Amino acid sequence: MILIASITYGPYNNLQYPDSVLQTALLVQRDISVDIPISHILLPGVNLTASWFWDRNYSLDNVSSIPTLFYYGYRRFELDLWWDNDTSSFQLCPEQIVPSISDNSTRLVTTTVTSLKSTVLPTSTSFFNVTLTNTMTSVAPYPSAILDPSEPMSLANNYTCAPAANLQLLLDAIQYLMVQTDSALKQAGLFLLILNLHALPSVGPANTTIDLSISSNQSLSDQVNATLGSWLYSPTNLASERQNINASFLLNPQYPILNITAYYTLDFNNVTNTASTPDGWPSTKHLFDLNGRRFLAGFGNINLPPNTYDISQDTSLIFPPGTFGGADQLISSTSITNSLDSCSGPAGVVFGPTGVEDFNSTDIGGNITFATSENPSFSALSYNDIQNIVTCGLSPIVDSPLQNTTSGLMSPYTDMAGTIWSWKSPSQPENVTIPTNGTSDVFACAAMFNDTGKWVVLDCSTQLQTACRINNTLYEVNLCSET
C-alpha cells in the first residue's frame, strides 16, 4: 500500500501513530466506562470489505493483519463471508477461487501443503504452521500441478485471493491478539465480530474449472469456539446470567450503584428475592472478571439462498442477526444534529418517537442499545461527523478505504481521534511529570469545561466551581454556588 502525506485532521495536526496523548485518552475512556453495560458504551467499528479489502486483495498478510486495527482502537469488525456450494463452506474471497479453463478433460487431484506463516502485530511476531489438504477437479494443461494455497491468484473483477486466506487464518490472528492482551491490560478491550453471510456467484459447469477454495467440515460456531472459546461470551452465557443478575451482573461488590432501569428492563421476584432482565447486558468489567471473556460473535445480514447454510445450529455460540444493532439502529451520519443539550435524528428506536433526545430530561425516550452510524456515501467521515455521532451516543462504523499510513484521512488511526468525547483536543490529557527539584508532591486532577463538557488536566490546588448532579438524574448537572 502507498503512504500518503500527513494532513490536518480536525484539531489534530500531523497525527502520528502511536500517539501517546490519543492512546491515553482512549484508555481513560475505556476505564471510566467499564461499569456501564456494553450495550451502551462506545464501540467504534469498521466495515472490513469496504475499508480493509477495498483494494480487493485477500492475501495471507492482509487477512492476518486485520487485528492490528484493534490496537488503533476499533472494537467492532464487520466481516463478509461467502458460501461456496461446491465445498459447502464459507470463504473470505467474494469470487470463486478457480482459474479459467477451456479443456473439458477432468480428473481429481488431492494436494497437501504445509508451510510456515507469520502474523506481525504491534507487540511481536507469531509463527504458525498452515497445513491444507485440498481435493480439486484438475484439467489439462494442469494434470498434476501442486498449487500453493498461500499464493494469491488473479480472479474475476480484479480480485486477488489466496485460497489459504480464509476465516480460520483470521480466527488464529484474533486468538494471538487475545493471548497477547491477556497480560497487557492497557491494550485489552472488547472484540465484536459481526458475520454477514452471502452466496458466491456461479462460474459455470464444474467440469470446466478447478475449484481451489479450502473446505471446512466445521460449522461457523464450531470454528469460532475451537479457536476462541476461551474468550467467547456466548448467547448461552448471556441467557444464563440474565436469569439472576444478583449472582452475575451485580455480583461484584465493586459494581457502582446506578440507575439500572435507564439501561435495561429489570424484573424482581419477591418470592426468591432475585432480579432478572430480559434485555440487559453485562459491563466490560464483568466480562473482564469473567475469565477474560471479551470476544463476542454475532450474525449481521444473511443473504443466503434457501437450503444452503442453517444459522440455527450456531445460535448457542453466535448471537442472532440484529443483536448488535439492526437496520433500524444504523443511523446515517448525515441525519444527525447535536447541540449542547440535545441530539436529533430520525424518529425511531434510537432518537425516540419525536426524533430528539433531550439530555436535560429525566426521561430518556429512545433505546440506544448498540446504536451505530455510518456515512451513506462510503466516503471518509470528517472529524466533525464522528464527533456528532459519538456525542449523540452512537458508535461510528468506518466504511471508507483505509491505507497503511500513520496520518491523514485514510489512516486507520485518525478516525479514532474523532471518538474522543472526554478530553479537550488536541493536547489533553496532558502528561504531568515530577518536577526536577526533587519533590514528589505532584497532584493532577481533571477539570471539566462547562460549555463543552470536555476535560483538561489541572493542578489539584486550582480553585474552580464544583458541578453537582441534580438528585438522581442521569444528565442534569448544575454548577454549585461555592468553589
Note down pLDDT in tens along the chain; length 483 residues.
Answer: 222 223 345 676 666 766 788 888 888 898 888 888 999 999 999 999 999 999 999 999 999 999 988 988 999 999 999 998 888 889 999 998 876 544 444 433 333 343 444 444 444 444 444 444 444 444 444 443 457 888 988 988 999 999 999 999 999 999 999 999 888 877 889 999 999 999 998 765 554 556 677 777 789 999 999 999 999 999 999 999 999 998 998 887 776 667 788 888 889 999 988 999 999 999 998 998 877 899 999 999 999 998 899 999 999 999 999 999 887 888 888 898 888 788 888 988 888 888 888 877 766 655 678 999 988 877 788 888 898 899 888 999 998 888 655 555 566 677 888 899 899 888 888 876 655 555 566 678 888 887 778 899 888 878 887 777 776 666 667 777 654
One-letter amino acid of 61: D
Strand partners, 104: none
| Cα–Cα dist 325/309, whole Å | 22
Cβ atoms of 283 and 255 within 8 Å: the answer is yes
In Å, what is the CA distance from 277 to each residue of 250, 263, 264, 472?
Answer: 12, 11, 7, 22
CA-based R_g, the chain, Å: 25
**Distance from CA of residue 358 to its chain's centroid?**
28
| Cα–Cα dist 271/59, whole Å | 59
Q: Can you give the pLDDT at residue 174?
A: 96
Measure CA of the first residue to CA of the last residue in the chain; give whole Å: 54
Strand partners, 295: 191, 232
What cell numbers appear for 4 in the block? 500518503
In Å, what is the CA distance from 107 to each residue of 137, 322, 344?
Answer: 5, 44, 63
| Cα–Cα dist 10/420, whole Å | 12
What cell numbers appear for 136 in the block? 480439486
Collapsing DSSP to helix, strand or coil, 201 comes out as coil
In Å, what is the CA distance from 3 to each residue of 175, 329, 361, 474?
Answer: 29, 35, 47, 45
Collapsing DSSP to helix, strand or coil, 376 comes out as coil
| Cα–Cα dist 292/294, whole Å | 6
Cβ atoms of 345 and 368 within 8 Å: the answer is no
| Cα–Cα dist 460/416, whole Å | 29
- Residues 6 or more apart in contact with residue 68 via CB below 8 angstroms: 121, 122, 412
| Cα–Cα dist 383/435, whole Å | 35
Q: Can you give the pLDDT at residue 442?
A: 66
| Cα–Cα dist 169/93, whole Å | 13
| Cα–Cα dist 136/99, whole Å | 12
Collapsing DSSP to helix, strand or coil, 58 comes out as strand
- Residues 6 or more apart in contact with residue 240 via CB below 8 angstroms: 248
**DSSP type of residue 286:** H
Which residue is listed with cell 527539584? 437
Q: How many helices (H) and strands (E) does the chain have?
A: 10, 24
At 458, phi and psi to the nearest 5?
Answer: -135, 160
Residue 304: burial class (beta carbons within 10 Å; 0-12, 13-18, 19+): middle
76-84/89-91 β-pairing: antiparallel
Question: What phi-psi label fits residue 125: left (phi over 0), alpha (psi between -120 and 50 degrees) or beta?
Answer: beta
Q: Can you give the pLDDT at residue 133?
A: 45
What sign has the CA pseudo-torsion 346, 352, 355, 360? negative
- What DSSP assignment string belongs to 105-139? -EEEEEEEEEEEEEEE-SS-EEEEEEEEEEEEEEE
| Cα–Cα dist 329/397, whole Å | 12
In Å, what is the CA distance from 353 to each residue of 264, 324, 347, 356, 357?
Answer: 18, 21, 5, 8, 10
